[in-house]
Amino acid sequence: MRPFYERDRSFFLQRNLLAACGKTAVRFYPKGPKAMKDLGICRLLQSLSKFTLSEMPRSFAAIRMTNEGLRLALRKALRWPAKPRFLAMLASALALTLVLLAGGCGTASSSKASAADTAIPTVPQVDTVRVISRQLNMTIPLPGELQPYEEVRIFPKVTGFIQWIGVDRGSRVKQGQLLIVLVAPELVAQRAEAQAKLLSAENQRIAAEAKMAADESTYLRLKVAAATPGVISDDELEVAQKAADADRARVVALQNSQDAAKATLHSVEEIESYLRITAPFDGVITKRNVHPGALVGPAGGSGAQSSMVRIEQVSHLRLVVAVPEVYVAGVERGAKVNFTVPAFPGRTFTGTIARLADSVDVTTRTMPVEMDVWNPSWELHSGMFPQVSWPVRRPNPTLFVPSSAVARTMETTFVIRVQNGKSEWVNVKPGASNGNLVEVFGDVREGDEVVLRASEELRPNTSVSSHLVSAPY
């Protein structure tokens, strides 16, 4: 009985080749010459574990093994050192033997292998969903900042020394409450001088009025006497008249001087009132920088420094939120917005949208929006950073697809629409995300079928077998 390799040497050779190439299947066409009965060749081929033979055509015009690789395999199979020249000759001989082995392919087994190698093209099956239209109505978390509704840093109007200060950091004050008293000795002297000038002007006016009354009386008597011819000359009568007119003018001038002195005194008294500093509104003192005896003054003047105190209104706060440009379209004045603060975990506060900047910051591409927050119990404080649940709305319904249906490449973002069994790439612009859905803007319509799991591996105009599934809406 013939040995195994003589009965079916093609199967034996193929088994050894598969064992030698563990990563990739090797299809080999048998029907080689009888010289290949030698088991040494099989052991040699089995040692080629580092090489992969692709499918070989019958002509073996391109065999994908280099002489260098064959030399390494021969060295491993022979297990004894050999000169490079000898290994090169052996590798060339082996390559020629492999070509001769494939030369006589024409049997029935060869026909079966060719039939198996002919791959039947298959149509890829994909799951599709429909594009839906709905009104975007969701909330997104945005950071905000609480600010006092009113904030004032109080500086002195005049230069002086602090005589008394009745508030400190954290003091709650009412509108009109006295906060600080200053003293300025030079203002006392200015006030006394203004009062003296006013009294002098009044005395001068009184004297002028008395003289005017006397001159007017003299003029009237002379005028009566001049009715008798030859008693009073015309010159005397005219002199008396002019004197009375001059007295009246002098009285008017002195009256104006008295009014000026009175205004000067009032101005000094107004400046003196600045020495008593009161609260402009109800609030809390958040900063105090001065103490009794300190010299203070207006900005840029003698004793100028930082503000004496800072007062903030915290019963009414402003919540400022920087809204991204993409979300500003649905902002409505008067809408209620919820927010939380780290100081009160688990509690939710509410604010009302009151003021919009109506201008987008070119640096951050956001628009500041202010909300009114009433804080009657003074629990919230200015400077807090709340987390705002900002409502996002669209004025009109928009189109949505699952987020997995949107594919991205370096050049574009697209969905794959299936029409008439063919795939089509449709460029879209993603919008807001709502759960597992994403807004899309582009050449898509409500009801279009798109691939649920889009990928650039599915090329355009590819025949596909679609299966419409229920979208996770």
Q: Is the pLDDT of residue 44 over 60?
A: no
Q: Say yes or no: 257 and 159 in one domain.
A: yes
pLDDT of residue 31: 39
Last residue of a domain, one of 371, 393, 415: 393
Q: Say yes or no: 202 and 161 in one domain.
A: yes
What's the mean per-residue pLDDT of the chain?
78
Residue 471 pLDDT grade (very low, low, confident, very high; cuts 50, 70, 90) = low
Please say whether the beta carbons of 292 and 164 come within 8 A.
yes
pLDDT in tens, 183-196: 998 888 888 889 99
Considering only residues 179 and 65, tell me which one the structure prediction assigns the higher pLDDT: 179
Domain coverage including residue 245: 152-278
- Start-end of H helices in 3-50: 4-7, 9-20, 39-46
Q: Considering the domain boundaries, does residue 41 fall inside one?
A: yes
Q: Say yes or no: 415 and 378 in one domain.
A: no
Point out the least confidently predicted range of 75-84, 285-294, 445-454: 75-84
Considering only residues 25 and 237, tell me which one the structure prediction assigns the higher pLDDT: 237
* Torsion, Cα of 377, 381, 385, 386 (10° steps): 0
Q: How confident is the model over 141-170, as a mean pLDDT?
A: 93
Q: Considering the domain boundaries, does residue 438 fall inside one?
A: yes
pLDDT in tens, 241-271: 888 889 889 999 999 999 999 999 998 999 9
Residue 311 pLDDT grade (very low, low, confident, very high; cuts 50, 70, 90) = very high
Rounded to 10 deg, the angle between the 39-46 and 9-20 helix axes is 20
Considering only residues 236 and 283, tell me which one the structure prediction assigns the higher pLDDT: 283
Q: Considering the domain boundaries, does residue 106 fall inside one?
A: yes
Last residue of a domain, one of 346, 364, 393: 393
CB atoms within 10 A of CB 349: 20
Please say whether the beta carbons of 129 and 370 come within 8 A.
no
Q: Say yes or no: 61 and 171 in one domain.
A: no
Q: How confident is the model over 81-109, as a mean pLDDT?
A: 47
Q: Say yes or no: 20 and 40 in one domain.
A: yes
Last residue of a domain, one of 278, 297, 332: 278
Q: How far is CA 357 from CA 227, 320, 322, 370, 371, in A?
A: 86, 11, 10, 8, 12
Q: Say yes or no: 245 and 338 in one domain.
A: no
pLDDT of residue 348: 95
| Percent with pLDDT over 90 in the chain | 42
Q: Say yes or no: 71 and 39 in one domain.
A: yes
Considering only residues 77 and 122, tell me which one the structure prediction assigns the higher pLDDT: 122
How many domains, in total, are found in the chain? 4
Q: What is the CATH number of the domain that holds 157?
A: 1.10.287
Q: Considering the domain boundaries, does residue 140 fall inside one?
A: no
Q: Say yes or no: 406 and 388 in one domain.
A: no
Q: What is the CATH number of the domain that holds 425?
A: 2.40.420.20
Residues 6+ apart with CB under 8 A from 190: 268, 271
Q: Considering the domain boundaries, does residue 61 fall inside one?
A: yes
Q: Which of 90-99, 199-208, 370-379: highest mean pLDDT?
A: 370-379
